């Protein structure tokens, strides 16, 4: 899984600049940040994965098929969501434009982003906001789904995954970053993907009172707790930086526990999926694949968009919780 993580880091160095001083057209006074840089996996994807792909590869990325993007962009935007992801909402709240949809100048864009990182611009980076992650979600997916490891076996690899994230944060600091948000991961045991595969009658005892799998959530908690501890250590070590731990877990779990409080129903049912039932998730007919080309009637009333990634509505709650607290320590705008 190191390979996956380092690939993710490499891919992200190709860079996801969501907004920068040069491309920002509006309101300089509105934000205390020059730019926003996002590094991450599919939760943070805003189009880069599609930039370097040929048509065959694009076709294989389910996020390039309807109904992805239906709610905000009106068409697939190479985001794993019906609309905006968390970093999009963060960008908008800080007064930055969203990353423009796929364009032919993709290569120039990437060069620009690389220059921004390697160039002599420490003053600029000092006032930029970095979101580093979430990383780890894919690493556990590979272990649990592709390698069929147990939760206990997965836990053995957690220190290595956390260590890779710490090294990444330290590299950013060495480059000049001073404001860094480090997100954890979602409660795996509450996701339709994992529930549909592993929540069978044989392990009913593993389900908690809300219907999430305890063992899988323990793995996520283990990862998140270790990450948060390391973020605290990094913060003590780098006093000129502000390193924020951002929590997906507690808020997502809260939305599972009290969906109506957030305007949601059926928190375990993928809005876009196939197979019906409690989870509406079929791994062979995932959202965007043949057989799963339509969404539920009202995606804004759902927590899970595709059984793996949260809906746009959920992402908005998460972004708010990170910007203003209490789901980011300290809050991004705190």
Q: Give 232's Cβ-side CA count (13 Å radius).
A: 7
Nearest approach in angstroms of CB 28 to ligand NAG is 8
Would residue 306 show up in a list of annotated catalytic residues for this protein? yes
Chain positions 20 to 39 lying near ligand NAG, rule: CB under 6 A, are 26-27, 29-30
Answer for which of 2, 32, 57, 75 binds ligand NAG (CB under 6 A) is 57
Nearer to ligand NAG, 29 or 240 (CB): 29
Between 52 and 330, name the residue whose CB sits nearer to ligand NAG.
52
Per the listing, tokens 């970095």 go with 130
d(CA 180, CA 242): 6
CA torsion angle for 12, 329, 186, 6 (degrees, to 10)? 30
Nearer to ligand NAG, 61 or 181 (CB): 61
Q: Is 206 a catalytic residue?
A: no
59 is an interface residue for ligand NAG by CB under 6 A: no
Binding characters for ligand NAG, 220-249, by CB under 6 A (x = yes): ------------------------------
Quote the Cα angle for 233-238-240, to 5°.
140
Rounded Cα distance between 320 and 331, Å, is 10
As to burial, measured by CB atoms within 10 angstroms (0-12 exposed, 13-18 middle, 19+ buried), residue 188 is buried
Least distance in angstroms from the C-beta of 95 to ligand NAG: 7
Please identify which of the residues 12, 20, 41, 42 carries the catalytic annotation: 42
Annotated active-site residue 65? The verdict is no
Q: Report the alpha-carbon distance of residue 217 to residue 156 in Å, rounded.
A: 15
**Residue closer to ligand NAG (CB basis): 102 or 149:** 102
Q: What is the spatial distance between Cα 8 and Cα 10, in angstroms, rounded to a whole number? A: 5
Give me the active site residues, please.
Answer: 42, 306, 309
Binding site for ligand NAG (CB under 6 A): 26-27, 29-30, 54-57
């Amino acid at each position: 899984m190191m390979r996956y993580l380092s690939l993710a880091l490499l891919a992200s160095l190709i860079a996801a600049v969501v907004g920068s001083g040069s491309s920002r057209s509006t309101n300089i006074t509105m934000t205390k940040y020059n730019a926003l840089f996002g590094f991450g996996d599919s939760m943070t994807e805003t189009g880069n994965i599609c930039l370097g792909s040929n048509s065959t590869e694009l076709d294989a990325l389910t996020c390039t098929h309807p109904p992805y993007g239906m709610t905000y962009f009106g068409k697939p935007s190479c985001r794993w969501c019906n609309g905006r992801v968390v970093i999009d909402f963060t960008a908008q709240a800080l007064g930055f434009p969203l990353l423009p949809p796929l364009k032919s100048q993709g290569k120039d864009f990437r060069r620009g982003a690389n220059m921004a990182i390697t160039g002599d611009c420490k003053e600029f980076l000092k006032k930029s906001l970095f979101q580093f992650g979430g990383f780890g979600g894919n690493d556990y997916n590979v272990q649990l789904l592709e390698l069929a490891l147990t939760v206990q076996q997965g836990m053995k690899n957690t220190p290595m995954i956390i260590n890779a994230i710490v090294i990444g944060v330290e590299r950013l600091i060495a480059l000049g970053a001073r404001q860094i948000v480090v997100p954890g991961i979602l409660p795996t045991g509450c996701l339709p993907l994992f529930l549909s595969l592993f929540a069978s009658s044989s392990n009913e005892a593993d389900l908690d009172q809300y219907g999430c799998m305890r063992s899988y959530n323990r793995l996520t908690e283990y990862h998140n707790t270790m990450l948060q501890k390391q973020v605290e250590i990094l913060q003590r070590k780098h006093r000129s930086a502000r390193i924020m731990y951002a929590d997906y877990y507690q808020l997502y779990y809260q939305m599972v526990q009290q969906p109506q409080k957030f305007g949601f129903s059926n928190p375990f049912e993928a809005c876009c999926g196939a197979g019906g039932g409690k989870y509406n998730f079929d791994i062979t007919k995932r959202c965007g694949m043949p057989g799963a080309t339509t969404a539920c009637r009202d995606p804004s009333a759902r927590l899970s968009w595709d059984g793996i990634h949260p809906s746009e509505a959920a992402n908005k709650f998460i972004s708010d919780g990170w910007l203003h607290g209490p789901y980011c320590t300290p809050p991004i705008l705190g």
